[in-house]
Structure formats: C-alpha cells, structure tokens
Amino acid sequence: MAFDADQVPDHLLIKIEQGDHPVSVVSEDDARNRWAAYPTTMWGAPVFGSAQEVDGRWRIVRLNADTLQDARDSLASHFRKLHSETPPTAENAAARAEYERIYELLDWEPINEPTVNGFRYRIIRAQTFIRMGPDGPEPPRPTDPDPHAPGTTDRSTSHLDGFIIDPTASTGLTDGLVRMEMISASYPPDAVPADMRADSRRALTTHPNVVLLPVGYTIGACIDGSWRPRSSITYATPQDVRDAESFSVGSQPDENTPMEEYVAAYQRARAKHKPPRTNEFEVRGVPCRVTRIETFVRVGPDGPEGPRPSDPNGHLPPARLMQEPDPD
C-alpha cells in the first residue's frame, strides 16, 4: 500500500535527520568506515523481555532473558517490586491488590499480554546481530561512548531499561540505513529450523518496521579459528565488559573454606587488580575481543513484536514447575 508523505502510519515511519554537529558528522563517517571493514551481518540469538504501554508508546521494562518464561518471571518480579513500593494505604489498596493478583497469576500461567492497573504490558522479543570482517567481529567504534575509568562501572541496571520503542523518533543517516536493511531481514535459509524460518518471514508482514535499541557490548572468543560469544550477557559500555572480564578467581574454595574467608580474599585481590583498557586480550590462551552488539525490535500497528510460536519457551511457570516435571 502506498501513502502520501504526510499520511504514513506511525508504525511505518523512518524519520532521518542529518545532524551538522561535529560529533554527529564524525560518528556517521566512523559507521561508514566500519561497514566497509565489517561487511557481513551475523544474527545472534533473540532476547526476550517485557514492555509497558505509556501514552501510546511502549517502554521497555526489562530485556535480558534467554527464554519467554524467563521474561515472564522477570515481569512477575517487577510487579512484586511495584507492590512492595506502593504504600499500604486505603487509597492504594486496589492497586496493591492488582499487583498481587497478577504476579500470583504469572507464577502459574504463561501470560504474554496482561493489563495491570490500567496499563498494558507485553512480553516482547528483540533480535541481536553483529558485524563480521576478515579479522573477526566488530570491536567498539572510536566514537562509541566509553566514559568510565577502569574499575568504576556500575552494572546493577541495564542500559535498555526504560527505553522508548518509538518508530517515529528521528534517527541519523547511518541508523536509518541500518533500519532499512533490517526491515527486510529474516533468518537465512538453513540457518535455523523450518518453523523458526517461517515465523521470521511472517514477521516481515505482521511487524513491518524496526526500531534500533542502544548498542551493547560483549566478549567474543576465537576458539579453533571460529569466533563465538564468551558470554550471553550484554553490557552498556566497552568498559563494563572489560571490568566484568578482567578479574577472575584462580581457584574455587574447597568445601572446608569458610565463605567469609573466601570473600575477604576475593575483595583483597580485587582491590589490588588494575584492569586493562583494551579491546583485545587473552583468557587462558584464548584470543578475546570486546564485541559490538546491535539489537532491533520489530514493530507493527499495535506496537512491538511479541512471542513467536517457535521461540524457546523455557521452563514451566514456577508454581507449576514445583508440581509437574519440566518438559525439557
């Protein structure tokens, strides 16, 4: 279907604005250079989480789960937190009861789209990908923000928490080109089972636009000449990754070591450790690289894409898991 320029539905918009700020110009040039150096796109595993609709836009609550049920469990925890943070007054009684009702229901049932205290929530899926070149995966770009000194990062929250999934938000030229590239992207043939491939193709119609999420970073490891993720965790900045990977305890405590002694020794060693500020290093002889992770969410007329039939469901809801054998 064709639309006039001023009649394009919000969920189909890609609004590109070319900035003239020097940092913006350098970032755009940086991206073009990296596309030439790392021309191949390699898809990673999907990531799952939840979002809340606020004033017609969807806001990410949490997006860090490997399976759908992990995302539902995380959403239940979110409602438990809201329940505990809502003062137990008479005027809040109904809201607190609703939070309690929904988190208890999520303990039993695999619900993907609850409405709670007048707000819609949804279990959502996002797709990760990296760019590969002759020397391996793309490392951080020179213009990527990396503000923290070694050992000073805070990894207690995710850089995706609270992000607004807004297809109408203005974007730069290179991000706009990435969005257009991913609009028609689906799982490559023979890369995944037939049902996953079919669901991927179907999503091009049901959710025909994409929104890029903030870039993250992880560790890639070159094992037997092949690069693979060393960790499934994605961090907000390159230094978050370096801090997470730079220190490890050489041996685990034996069963006779008091835990307080082990923790004290760990803290002393950590205080002496000075993590390097580098993107290339070795772990036990294995070449590793801080790797740039890009992520997008598909969007349709009713917001971000939810679960697909072929998505990994994971374990049963926790209350049922205690009563029934895990199907996996």
Total Cβ atoms within 10 A of residue 276: 10
The two structure tokens encoding residue 106? 């999520």
pLDDT band at 249; cut points 50, 70, 90: very low
Contact 71, 314 (CB under 8 A): no
pLDDT band at 255; cut points 50, 70, 90: low
Residue 204 covered by a domain: yes
- State residue 54's pLDDT score: 94
Identity (one letter) of the amino acid at 11? H
User: Could you tell me the pTM of the whole model?
Assistant: 0.85
Q: Tell whether the model's pLDDT for residue 252 goes beyond 70.
A: no
Contact 38, 32 (CB under 8 A): no
Whose tokens are 């070449």? That residue is: 287
pLDDT digits (tens, 9 = 90+) for 289-326: 999 999 999 999 999 999 999 999 989 999 998 886 55
Residue 39 covered by a domain: yes
Residue 186 Cα distances to 42, 207, 298, angstroms: 11, 12, 11
Specify the 3-state DSSP secondary structure of 21.
coil
The two structure tokens encoding residue 265? 């020794």
pLDDT digits (tens, 9 = 90+) for 115-167: 999 999 999 999 999 999 999 999 999 989 888 887 777 777 788 999 999 99
Residue 53 covered by a domain: yes
Contact 78, 68 (CB under 8 A): no
Most confident listed range (14-23, 56-65, 316-325)? 56-65
Residue 251 covered by a domain: no
- The angle at the Cα of 62, spanning 116 to 83, to the nearest 5 degrees, equals 40
Residue 274 covered by a domain: no
Q: Tell whether the model's pLDDT for residue 213 goes beyond 90.
A: yes
Provide CB contacts within 8 A for 189, sequence distance 6+. Answer: 197
Residue 155 covered by a domain: yes
Average pLDDT over residues 37-52: 94
Residues spanned by the domain of 183: 9-215+296-313
- The structural domain count of the chain equals 1
Residue 31 covered by a domain: yes
pLDDT band at 207; cut points 50, 70, 90: very high
Which of 126, 144, 124 has its CA nearest to residue 210? 126
Residue 192 covered by a domain: yes
